Chain A
């Protein structure tokens, strides 16, 4: 039986498509109360007082809490999970991150008070009665501005608002190589700030069982065990044995639901205080001002080339916006998940990257689909295109000339990573062929005849997925291990329950993982149940992010199945009166090699649970195995994307005429799910390139794009039908040879689209267009005489 490689329909879709999913907000506990969080309308203000006397007396109100109550109860701040050191060896500044403001608010949306009432409407109405005395002070929203002398200080103890000033690589070697280079291409670019916008807003329910003393948190999380660890150990000081965290069906995360958020701690704490369940659900506008944002880099990049057009050095200086507080994994994104990817698919021998992480009066910034890798890919693929343009070379040819040769793997990059496998030539070949790259100039000429500007753009990408070997990330500052756990439980009658630490929030794990088990144990897929998302059921879990579920979580399942098969062989050898070494397992049958004597997995399982005739001296009863798997290396998916766009110079409107993607994800378990992941990633990448932009008013720190009036999400009619293909080189260090596919589209698409746009506008002297490339920006680019009107 082979289920691997089959487009099995997603088993979870029936409940999602028929409205039978159970999301956090669908859960209601007896005697449940509702929390409404009053948030700061100011970006930077001292809290002189919070008068909630009227609110506390309002109908239905059970309690109003402020930062003072949090402080009085010894509730801790939200921890940061990754310690980064500056160039001079000093540790990053790690300011406190209280769950309710303590004396000062530092961004619009910073929680000030929580009102808890019998109904949400009562809580919201009562919040209107709270009088907060703010002493408003000047704010700074953009990172470059926060570095200027005299800029408002987000934290008095953090001079110049610099959280850390980090670097990687050999600056002297890079300067020397750039000095000797035949040509140095330079570019300043920004990576626009994004709001993740999961379809399901965040929600949390705290519950406390007086009889058992157990606290339960239901939450919209990608990693319930991580929340249990962080909230239990650092914030509420609860033993993990008495804290259960459940992440039921979750409607999308894209990174934003990795982090431990204030509201989770508030409802868990308040439920124990009030001895009643407390529910909080974000309104959409709250999501905009409280979910961690993504990207927000300002970068200067220089690429040196020799006379043969080989890349000789790359230098990258980045200012990364951290927001006002450090979100859970904020600090590793613009460092170890960014600069380490700057070799891309190329043989650039020396690379130097430096990143200044800067506090501003904005919502914290953390990982968002791709997390550091889209930023690295965007600047690298833009500068490579710019080099091709300056040298008058075909961008595809310049890339091929600098690709890491297919026979050079494992390949050690100058930025710490060792790529295990890859074949960048094949994906580029597939993509350019499918896009008819060779025939493009005829199409450009056709378009020109109808007054349109057509451009084509290539981007290749590499990403580090399957996060990550614990010892490696630990040495780089991670305060967590990044293994995964799985239990495979074969029941007495042969059906199988899999408990996995890889949470599913749209990725289709319940199907993909069932395929692994159907393939590995020869059990029909209908008899396999995949369980995730409950710390009371699952042995442990580090969760779902960084395209790690199959490579790390799937491997843990494989390892647990290996233990099941090993034990099954011992039981079979006993029953079949054969040597263990002679037992073979295939398609659900344990057989004695070279004979027709065999036992099914079901028979072995029944024997394990009804152990009348059983090797008790050697084995314990039962057929239930757990494995923890810690990966040996990252995995390195790669690919090549080709975008073709057409711009109407009269209106600036842009149409993506064609988008071709060719990816190397290693072995593919379910090609339909992979295609779905690529589609979603491309939509988000194209959204960043053309539509999405989180805007703060620089002088006041007001968030100006906090609804879909002003924040443009991609819609179906903004996107073309994607032409997809794959070319697999197998990952060499996990048993399946899988690499991960969740983030690829969001990583490669922005550069491909931007390169196509610059190509379309090349006759207008355009070197670069900042994202999002709105019709207004495109129109101004072709009507430079009107620029003054801006």
Chain B
């Protein structure tokens, strides 16, 4: 599946870029994320608990950043296996543009699932992915707008 979106963040581009590369921010914003550990400048490991319809599983996997063009754009890709629940992989191309004092974030996401997730939840994948993307960017917006930089309770 594929989806696209954009949001306007009331913060300068450099600040948005920094947060997008910050493991703590990612952990706060990725729905169900339990850990994000930085391995290198472009690689993280992550653990995410996700629920698709009747399937709930902990996905352990790797997150990599490619096509880095700071502070304008990158591609963030993740691939995780959830044991017998199957696997999920996806990538998001994220770009930032100045809009006065604000920043416009545009994203295009591609996601793919396999195993039990596909077998019993294929019709739910689109809706679930969309919700996860919405949750992510809502929380990210929260991080960017809260005075102390912490995510709001969700």
A residues lining the B interface (CB < 8 Å): 38-42, 108, 124, 127-130, 285, 288-289, 697, 700, 702-707, 709-710
Contacts and interface: CB of A to CB of B under 8 A. Distances in A.
Contact of A288 (B114, B119, B122): B119
Contacts of A40: 115
B153 interface: no
A91 B127 CA distance: 49
B83 A128 contact: yes
Contacts of A124: 84
A706 B116 CA distance: 8
Contact of B86 (A41, A129, A288): A41
A128 B119 contact: no
In the A-B complex, the 4 residue pairs with the smallest Cβ-Cβ separation, listed nearest first, are A41-B115, A706-B119, A702-B118, A128-B83
A108 B84 contact: no
Contacts of A288: 119
Contacts of A700: 112, 114, 118
Contacts of A128: 83-84
Contact of A697 (B81, B118, B123): B118
7 contacts: A38-B84, A108-B119, A285-B119, A697-B122, A702-B114, A702-B115, A707-B119
B91 to A, nearest CB: 15
A41 B123 contact: no
B113 interface: yes
Residue of A38, A41, A124, A710 most packed against chain B (CB within 10 A): A41
A485 to B, nearest CB: 41
Nearest to B121: A709
B120 interface: yes
A41 B112 CA distance: 12
Contacts of B86: 41
Specify the main secondary structure of chain A where it touches its partner: loop
B83 A704 contact: no
A41 B116 CA distance: 7
Contact of A709 (B81, B87, B120): B120
B149 interface: no
Given A700-B114, A702-B114, A285 B120 contact: yes
Contacts of A39: 84
Given A41-B114, A42-B114, A108-B114, A127 B83 contact: yes
Contact of B113 (A289, A702, A706, A707): A702
A41 to B, nearest CB: 3
A710 B123 contact: yes
Given A41-B81, A42-B114, A127-B83, 12 more contacts: A41-B87, A41-B114, A128-B83, A128-B84, A130-B83, A285-B119, A285-B120, A697-B122, A702-B114, A702-B122, A703-B119, A706-B119
Contacts of A709: 53, 120-121, 123
A124 B85 CA distance: 12
A697 B117 CA distance: 13
A392 to B, nearest CB: 43
Contacts of A41: 81, 86-87, 114-116, 118
Interface of B: 53, 81, 83-84, 86-87, 112-116, 118-123
A108 B119 CA distance: 9
A289 B114 CA distance: 13
Nearest to A288: B119
Nearest to A696: B118
A224 B119 CA distance: 31
Contacts of B87: 41-42
A697 B1 CA distance: 12
A777 B120 CA distance: 23
A706 B121 CA distance: 9
A301 to B, nearest CB: 32
Contact of A703 (B84, B118, B123): B118
A127 B84 contact: yes
A776 to B, nearest CB: 14
B84 to A, nearest CB: 6
Contacts of A705: 119, 122
Contacts of B115: 40-42, 108, 702
Residue of B81, B119, B122 most packed against chain A (CB within 10 A): B119
B89 to A, nearest CB: 9
B58 to A, nearest CB: 9
B114 A706 contact: no
Contacts of A697: 118, 122
A295 to B, nearest CB: 20
A710 B113 CA distance: 16
Nearest to B60: A131
Contacts of A108: 114-115, 118-119
Contacts of A289: 119
Contacts of B120: 285, 706-707, 709-710
A41 B113 CA distance: 9
Nearest to B113: A702
B116 A285 contact: yes
Contacts of A42: 87, 114-115
A710 B122 contact: yes
Contacts of B84: 38-39, 124, 127-128
A124 B57 CA distance: 14
Contacts of A130: 83
Given A709-B123, A710-B123, A704 B116 contact: no
B122 A704 contact: yes
B105 to A, nearest CB: 29
A121 to B, nearest CB: 13
A601 to B, nearest CB: 57
A475 B106 CA distance: 67
Contacts of B81: 41
A707 B55 CA distance: 12
A289 B115 CA distance: 10
B125 to A, nearest CB: 10
B115 to A, nearest CB: 3
A705 B119 CA distance: 6
Nearest to A124: B84
B120 to A, nearest CB: 4
